[in-house]
Amino acid sequence: MNLKDCHNFEDFKKLAKKKLPSPIFHYIDGGSDDEVTLNRNTEAFNDYDLIPNVLNDVSNIDMSTTVLGEKIDFPLFPSATAMHRLYHHEGERASARAVEKMGTIFGTSTMGTVSIEEIGQINKGPKSFQLYIHKDRGLTDNLLERCKKAGFTSLCLTVDTVVAGNRERDRRTGFTTPPKLTLANIIHMTEKGSSIDKSVIDYINEQFDPAMNWKDAEYCVKKWNGPFALKGVMSVEDAKKAIDIGCTAVIVSNHGGRQLDGSRAPFDQLAEIVDAVGDKIEVILDGGVRRGTHVLKALSLGAKACSFGKGYLFALAAGGQKGVEKILANMKTEINRDMKLMGCRTLKELNRSKIIHRRN
Amino acid sequence: MNLGNCHNFYDFRELAKRKLPSPIFHYIDGAADDEITYKRNTSAFDDVDLVPNVLRGVENIDLSTTIFGKKIDLPLYCAPTALQRLFHYDGERAVGKAAQKFNTMFGVSALSTVSVEEIASLIDTPKMFQFYFHKDRGLNDAVMERVKAAKFDVMALTVDTITGGNRERDLRTGFTSPPKLTLSSLFSFAVKPMWGINYLTKGKFELPHLQDHVSEGTSTAVSIGNYFSNMLDQSMNWKDAEKLCSQWGGHFALKGVMSVEDAKRALDIGCTGIMVSNHGGRQLDGSRSPFDQLAAIVDAVGDKMDVICEGGIQRGTHVLKALSLGAKACSGGRLYLYALAGAGQAGVERALNQYRAEIERDMKLMGCTKISDLNRNNLRFRKK
Ligand SMILES: Cc1cc2nc3c(=O)[nH]c(=O)nc-3n(C[C@H](O)[C@H](O)[C@H](O)COP(=O)(O)O)c2cc1C
Ligand SMILES: Cc1cc2nc3c(=O)[nH]c(=O)nc-3n(C[C@H](O)[C@H](O)[C@H](O)COP(=O)(O)O)c2cc1C
């Protein structure tokens, strides 16, 4: 099996499984507790059906949209994820190049393994930096200043990781990051250095600040003073607060089922959030997206765009830059084909009339 | 396993699997993306229950119904499907003759491997031609004229294949039409020698409705996805459909309508019927199943045009459920294609005979003697 046999998410996953040491594969693939939420994230899409329109002249399709202040070629982008050099030796260098080529937003994590500065050099397209607030508050200011300088176009604050989720697969496999791997963004900034020869769970619990609150988030919004997303919002109430503190977007997400098991799937919760705040803030759906039709369903309910994590990480593991390019190209092709089959020429034409809940 | 062991849809499927080279079996059996819509097409029927009436005197059952102005003896017919000579060397001849025996509608695909003229000379029971709207307008006109001259009863314009669906099984098997013998597919063809011998000895494989209009001819290998994406006209719109409808001048249907809005527009442009269909789950995965959508469409247009429920039908009770909701008739593809692949005309006859026997038995058990006895009082939707 090689990259040319990879037609969908499951194929990339299979190839990644062949290539990766098993603890690393399971670190990507696993969720928390019994993985109920992890599985529901994708299954949720199957409770809704698309209803196509026909005879609508679909010779020209425009899939572009504007999210977080940037125009992108199609309404899907990779979510920020930690430590790409674990999955492929080129790490974020490979994914950043691939994403630039495909014309969408590149997200890099505070726990990235290639520095903010280098990513700024490699990727000239839209870029988002995903921030974790550490106990050491000096770190936040430092990171934001460096991101501005490096040309990052938006900031994304993750709020669902105040403590680490119970990732039992990691306990069983004894997953720790290899001693040589450094977190390039926070090197020399944390007390013990950034070489985390410990479990990610311990790192999160020792370094991330569980006291983080709305004031801290507001501080970041002001300090950044540009397009800003809050990642991991699940309740309507919090989505409204995100507007109040000046966010540009909320990313409806449960961290890919890696944090609170038993919590609601983003797609199940999407309509409620769009109804409450969709006209005032960009709503981005994150988690469980495996297919072009999943993106179409989210957009029909009112999401501005979608993001996905595991899909492109498996592709990165399977084939480095080429792998990430391929999965993004596949998804773009699927979205294009599915728009045609739906009889929609622009993303605006996707609305609630095109989707129906099975039980209705 | 042989024809005598085939008692239901799954038996025929098993027989076909044994007889066909695997790329061809998977071309029939497969659907788009994760095949979720394909599965739902059938499982949708399980969300509704039949409620029988008793003591009604059911010794004589009339299964006839009238669609597109033609009386047929079975409320279930053969939907048009492509390339039938790939599945059995007799192809459309076998299916047409079997349909004639049961006096039901025979749907002939634009991609059929036997000409409309030959089919017209073989059978005199109701016939439908399925039209694809090509970029080449000359080809469109020529097909229209030939079908008119062959005196087909219904013209059905397929509207759900504006681009090829993502049939991943075909990507994996490398399915093309006609089959191209690549190293990877050679093995699957080699293990089914009878299929190969018949394919090579029983006449050249062609698409008679297209061959004069495609410069390379139709004996070269192209994938079905490429055919849809390269030859069909993606700019097709309601005006084009309206023109075709008046050009045909007889019973005209749109095949692949799923929204209430489009059903109403079909009526406006002069259609006399629609097939509520998602192409057997082969196009847009994640789209609604015909049976799930049927009631809404029947409510909107059911009294003004023939509404056909197409796809997922594997049992007589599925037909009864669709008719109870207000469909005029049902149609299906795989329900006769596996039988064709398994045993040619005899296979299709056996399959149709079983469906007729099931529908008749189920009518009796429901306490109904004619199709019009079936209505929504016979159905209860399970609450979830
Ligand atoms: C291996 C892995 C590492 C992740 N690292 C981060 C991270 O550093 N910061 C963050 O905000 N989210 C992180 N996430 C969550 C993703 O950003 C995203 O929310 C999630 O993967 C979406 O679900 P999906 O994988 O089903 O698409 C990570 C996810 C995975 C699978
Ligand atoms: C192998 C195969 C070939 C098909 N070819 C055509 C075709 O050429 N034109 C068309 O309009 N529909 C075609 N269809 C769709 C059928 O007309 C019908 O909509 C579908 O088979 C119904 O679903 P069912 O197979 O579950 O009964 C094809 C279906 C199959 C399975």
CATH number for the domain harbouring residue A200:
3.20.20.70
Identity of the residue numbered B354 = Q
pLDDT tier at B223 (50, 70, 90 boundaries)?
A: confident
CA B169 to chain centre: 20
Predicted ipTM beyond 0.85: yes
Residue to substitute from B26, B259, B267, B292, interface A, most A β-carbons within 10 A = B259
To which residue do tokens 């010779």 refer? A59
Does ligand 2 lie within 6 Å of residue B29's CB atom? no
Instruction: Inform me whether the pLDDT recorded for A190 exceeds 60.
Output: no
Instruction: Inform me whether the pLDDT recorded for A196 exceeds 90.
Output: no
Residue A51: domain span: 3-357
Identity of the residue numbered A189 = M
Least confident of A120-124, A165-169, A177-181, B306-310: A177-181
Q: What's residue B11's pLDDT?
A: 98
Q: Which chain A residues are closer than 8 Å to B244 by Cβ?
A: none
Report the gap between the CA of B262 and the closest CA in chain A (Å).
Answer: 6
Kindly give the residue spans of alpha helices, DSSP state H, lying in chain B.
Answer: 9-19, 22-29, 36-43, 84-87, 92-101, 116-122, 137-149, 168-173, 183-190, 193-201, 224-231, 238-248, 260-268, 290-301, 316-325, 334-366
- Give the nearest partner residue to B284 out of A338, A353, A359, using CB atoms: A338
Q: Is B240 exposed, middle or buried (0-12, 13-18, 19+ CB in 10 A)?
A: middle
Q: Can you tell me the distance from the alpha carbon of B276 to that of B281, in angstroms, rounded to the nearest whole number?
A: 12
Neighbouring-strand partners of residue B332: B78
Q: What's residue B185's pLDDT?
A: 59
- Give the nearest partner residue to B235 out of A54, A57, A343, using CB atoms: A57
Cβ separation B284–A7 shorter than 8 A: no
- Give the nearest partner residue to A53 out of B33, B233, B262, using CB atoms: B262
CA of B162 to the centre of ligand 2 (A): 15
Q: Which chain B residues are closer than 8 Å to A7 by Cβ?
A: 168, 171-172
Instruction: Inform me whether the pLDDT recorded for A360 exceeds 60.
Output: no
Please tell me which residue in A26, A255, A294, A357 is annotated as part of the active site. Answer: A255
CA of A310 to the centre of ligand 1 (A): 7
Instruction: Inform me whether the pLDDT recorded for A180 exceeds 80.
Output: no
Q: Can you tell me the distance from the alpha carbon of A233 to that of A227, in angstroms, rounded to the nearest whole number?
A: 17
Residue nearest (by alpha carbon) to ligand 1 atom 5: A81
Instruction: Inform me whether the pLDDT recorded for B96 exceeds 90.
Output: yes
Q: Which chain A residues are closer than 8 Å to B287 by Cβ?
A: 49-52, 293, 341
Q: Can you tell me the distance from the alpha carbon of A35 to that of A166, in angstroms, rounded to the nearest whole number?
A: 10
Q: Can you tell me the distance from the alpha carbon of B337 to that of B350, in angstroms, rounded to the nearest whole number?
A: 12
**Which ligand ends up closest to the CA of B78?**
2
Residue to substitute from B26, B46, B162, interface A, most A β-carbons within 10 A = B162
Q: How many domains does chain A contain in total?
A: 1
Report the gap between the CA of B247 and the closest CA in chain A (Å).
Answer: 17
Q: Which chain A residues are closer than 8 Å to B236 by Cβ?
A: 55, 57
Does ligand 2 lie within 6 Å of residue B218's CB atom? no
Residue-wise pLDDT for A201-229, tens only, equals 788 888 888 889 999 999 999 999 999 99
**Which of B132, B279, B337, B352 is the best mutation target for the ligand 2 pocket, counting ligand atoms within 8 Å of the beta carbon and taking the most?**
B279
Does ligand 1 lie within 6 Å of residue A16's CB atom? no
What is the number of CB-based contacts under 8 A between chain A and chain B? 101
Q: Of all atoms in ligand 1, which is nearest to the CA of residue A287?
A: 23
Q: Can you tell me the distance from the alpha carbon of B343 to that of B350, in angstroms, rounded to the nearest whole number?
A: 9
Instruction: Say if A230 is an interface residue toward chain B (CB within 8 Å).
Output: no
Least confident of A205-214, A336-345, B127-136, B267-276: A205-214
Kindly give the residue spans of alpha helices, DSSP state H, lying in chain A.
Answer: 9-19, 22-29, 36-43, 91-102, 116-122, 138-149, 168-173, 200-207, 214-224, 236-244, 266-277, 292-301, 310-342
Q: Please, what is the end-to-end C-alpha distance for chain B in angstroms?
A: 40
Q: What's residue B220's pLDDT?
A: 66
Residue of B nearest to A338 (CA): B284
Q: What's residue A175's pLDDT?
A: 84
Q: Nearest to residue B86, comparing CAs of B227, B232, B230, B219?
A: B219
Cβ separation A57–B236 shorter than 8 A: yes
Domains of chain B: 3-381 (3.20.20.70)
- Give the nearest partner residue to B234 out of A7, A340, A342, using CB atoms: A340
- Sheet of A228-233: strand order equals A76-78, A305-308, A282-286, A249-252, A228-233, A154-158, A127-131, A106-109
Mean of all residue pLDDT scores within chain B = 93
Active site residue A255: yes
- Residue A22 phi, psi dihedral angles, 5° rounding: -60, -35
